[in-house]
Structure formats: C-alpha cells, structure tokens
Amino acid sequence: MPEKQPAIVDVAIVGAGPAGITAALYAVRKALSVRVFEAEAVGGQLAEAIWVENYPGVPKISGAELTRRMAGQLRSFGVEIEEAAEVTGVRKAKGGFELEINSGEEKVSAKAVIICTGSRHVPLGIPGEKQFYGKGVFYCATCDGPLFKGKSVAVIGGGNCGVNAALFFSGICKKTYLIEFMPKPNFDAVYSEPIRKSRVEFLLNTQLTEIIGKDSIEKIKVKDKSSGKERAIALDGVFIYIGLQPKSGLAKKAGLKIGAKGYIAVGSGKMSSVPGIFAAGDVCGDLAQLAVSVGGGAVAATSAFEYLKKARG
C-alpha cells in the first residue's frame, strides 16, 4: 500500500523541472514533508535539451538522462514526483494554503508552497503553425527530431537552442536550414567551429511568413528582410526556437505580484508577494540556464525552511 500522506505537508512544490526537483531535495534533507506535483513532463525544458555541456561536474549528457538522474536522486530520499497532477489553484487556508489538484479532484494542504512551473516555447503566430502542429511543426528536436531522419527541416531561431538543434539535424537530415530573423545569430562561441564544419545552411535577416501543406508540411515561405523578396522552400519539418515565456497562470490566479513580462516577482529569498509562497526557475525571469534554476530551487527551499521555523516560533 502507498504510504499515507500527512493531512498537511510542510512544503508543496509545483513543477518538477530542475528548480522544483532541487527545492524538493533541499526541503526533504531539512526533514520537511514534501509533495511534488508535475502537470506535464518531468524535467521541463531540461528534458528537451539534446545535450547539456555547461553544468559543472557533469560532462556532456543528454537532458533526458540528466532529468532521469535528478528524479532518481529525489526518489532515493523517499519523494515521488506526482505526474499528471496539475495544480489549478492555490489559496490561503487555515495553517497555510490549500492546493486544488486537477480541477478539484484532490485538495492538498501545505504550510508553504514553492512554484516552479517553468516556461513554454513562444509560438511564431504565423499561418500554418497551429494547423501543422504535430504534423511537421514542433518545438522539441529531442522529442520529435528522430522522425525526420533523411528528410529536410528548418530550425527557426539562431540562439543556443536553435543552433544546437540545427547541429543535431545536420547529422541525420539530408538538408537543414537555420532561419534567423536578425542579421546575425546569437549563439555562444563554443558552437562556432561545429556549426562552421556542419552542413547547416543559414538564412539570416530572414522571416518565416507561412507554413504550407495538405496533410503535412510541404513547404514554407520566407522573406528576405533587406530586399523584401519572398520565396518558397520545400521541406518536411519546422522546429521553432524563438524564445520562452513563463507559465505563470497559476501564480496570477493565486494573486501573486506579476512583473511586466509575465514573470513572478520575488525577493532575494525567492519569496513572492504572498508570504509563504516562493518561486524559482524560469517562471521568475531568472537567466534560463540549468545552473541558475538549480540555485534558485535551493534558495527557495532554504527560505521556506526559515519561514516555517519562524512561524513555529
């Protein structure tokens, strides 16, 4: 039989990306009772990373494997991530907060809450994007890229994520385009030599204007921003990497202060505008990097511990 959950946990953590998993590790090591809820995929953006090469002490590793290790480490402390568990509401209640799970199917009481809901990919908002989502339009090369082996794809966005995806595709696809809206791409210098040696074709200062097809993608239209000329390119897949936006809907609903760009406003200890609710990771507008999310999760859990200790007197 599964272990019976306490009537009220010390800390409820919403989101099981790097920030949420780290927060849970720090909290349970301080002998706090913890529940972790994840509505979508464990690991969040990390799980989608083709390779992670900039996390200290961990040589080149796939995001999926690093996620598996993180979740396994948390499990070794007796904390299971509750998957497909969407927290749809958080409100003040006696003794702390009440969380509504899966639109009221379950209610959980917690003395403190840490929100680590992360971010989602920004859509382009062009004709054909919604129509062909899942039929050639994707936002995760790790998840869906292998389907395009031997085919032609375009990666949209010349930042680190975009160039990493393009390098992956150049090894399996017959043709890979990297389309960047600005005159120059904006990736780290470490990618310069690999991309120079790859078969990726850059289309800079170029705008993707339309995705066209019948049952699946057949071609795209792009416009040269300097000349204004449009042309069509035949291909099979489009992978979009133009940025991230915070998943802060729960925080807004809970009445937390939200910044101009939709990020949760937090203080130095990751406390939100509502005492007892903390936030960490991409949803706070921190630099969207693994090391930063991990650090934020550690700070949030430590602050939650101090908050609860003070509340106990």
For each of the domains in the chain, give its residue range(s) and CATH number, in order of start.
8-120+244-312 (3.50.50.60), 123-240 (3.50.50.60)
Question: Cα–Cα distance between 234 and 225 in angstroms, integer?
Answer: 20
Measured from the Cβ of residue 77, the count of other Cβ atoms closer than 10 Å reads: 12
Alpha carbons within 13 angstroms on the beta-carbon side of residue 3 total: 8
Beta strands 106-115 and 96-101 are antiparallel
CA distance 258 to 264: 5
pLDDT at 3: 53
Q: What is the pTM of this model?
A: 0.88
CB 38 within 8 A of CB 23: no
DSSP state of 201: E
Separation in Å, CA 29 to CA 16, 26, 77, 308 = 17, 5, 8, 15
Confidence at residue 1, expressed as pLDDT on a 0 to 100 scale = 41
Per-residue pLDDT, 256: 98
For the chain, 313 residues long, give each residue's pLDDT as a single digit of tens: 445 566 799 999 999 999 999 999 999 999 999 999 999 999 999 999 988 989 999 989 999 999 999 999 999 999 999 999 999 999 999 999 999 999 888 999 999 999 999 999 999 999 999 999 999 999 999 889 999 999 999 999 999 999 999 999 999 999 999 999 999 999 999 999 999 999 999 999 999 999 999 999 999 999 999 999 999 999 999 999 999 999 999 999 999 999 989 999 999 899 999 999 999 999 999 888 999 999 999 999 999 999 999 988 7
